Amino acid sequence: MIKMVATDIDGTILPYGGEFRPAVLDCINELNKKGIKVVLVTGRMHSSAVPLAQKLGLNTPVISYQGGLIKEMNGKTLYQSNLPPQTAKEIIKWARENDVHINLYLDDKLYVEQDNKIIQYYIKGKFVDYKVCSFDDLEIKDVNKLLAIDIDDAERVSVWVEVLKEKYPHLYIVKSTPYFCEIGPADAKKSLSVEFLRNYWGIKKEEVLTIGDQNNDIDLVECGGIGVAMGNGTEELKKCADYITDTCDNDGFVKAIEKFC
């Protein structure tokens, strides 16, 4: 019996740049009524995920920053892991030298050094503000994560992932979309955060359904008793899943829930 559903947001229950489909809202409402815990597990900022949790009527903790932060809806922090300050500074230096746009997340606030089309693309539908300033003017501590973005060249992002993985094997570096390179501490993983809450609630692995669509969801899908990949998911993710459902636009989340819950 499934007692917990741990779901990615963008591309899984929420179309990229869109709104929740009515069937998804109804489905999650039914899960809430049945007492099945629905947990949002996202690379988004906590402050960006909370409005979505509220819209879905959830009162469970939100997992944000790929698992680097777990917070109750009342603001109580259950778990947090940040990037080492010196490492963050080194990656910022690398980004400047290689003309890479970086989003810097400090204590759940978003900073960029340029107000450009990249940050405008990023914030669409995310309920977040950002500040433009030189990172040299900031105290680089409590860094939730760094996000390197190129909205025109996905291959360039793939190269960044490999370069940074080789240089910083102690970090968790992964693509969260074709255009986003996520950079966080090694223990900021979706799977570890799901395990944290599963143990917190005394839920067994086989009682958990996990679902996602991108490569940063691979460990999420693998950590569930039932791991589901969206039909619009990456090929790498689909290879790791127990089941492949329909696409986000065709209510794949709802179909997976109807099959297993």
Whether the predicted pLDDT of 91 surpasses 90: yes
Helix axes 252-260, 22-34, angle to 10 degrees: 30
The band of 2, judged by pLDDT with boundaries at 50, 70 and 90, is: very high
% helix, strand, coil for the chain, step of 5: 40, 25, 35
pLDDT at position 16, please?
A: 87
Full set of structural domains in the chain with CATH: 4-80+188-260 (3.40.50.1000), 85-185 (3.30.1240.10)
What's residue 18's pLDDT? 87
Query: What CA–CA distance (Å, rounded) separates 160 from 147?
Result: 11
> Tell me, what's the pLDDT at 126?
78
Each residue's pLDDT tens digit, 10-25: 999 999 878 999 999 9
Query: Which tens digit of pLDDT belongs to each residue from 106-144?
Result: 999 999 999 999 999 999 877 789 999 999 999 999 999
Give 172-194 pLDDT, tens digit per residue.
999 999 999 999 999 999 999 99
Tokens of 193: 């955060």
Three-state DSSP class for residue 151: coil
**Mean predicted confidence (pLDDT) in 143-157:** 97
Residue with tokens 């997976």: 256
pTM comes to: 0.93
Taking the C-alpha atoms of residue 78 and residue 50, their distance in angstroms, rounded to an integer, is: 15
- Residue 152 pLDDT level (bands cut at 50, 70, 90): very high
- Cα(176)–Cα(34) distance, rounded to whole angstroms? 31
Contact 231, 245 (CB under 8 A): yes
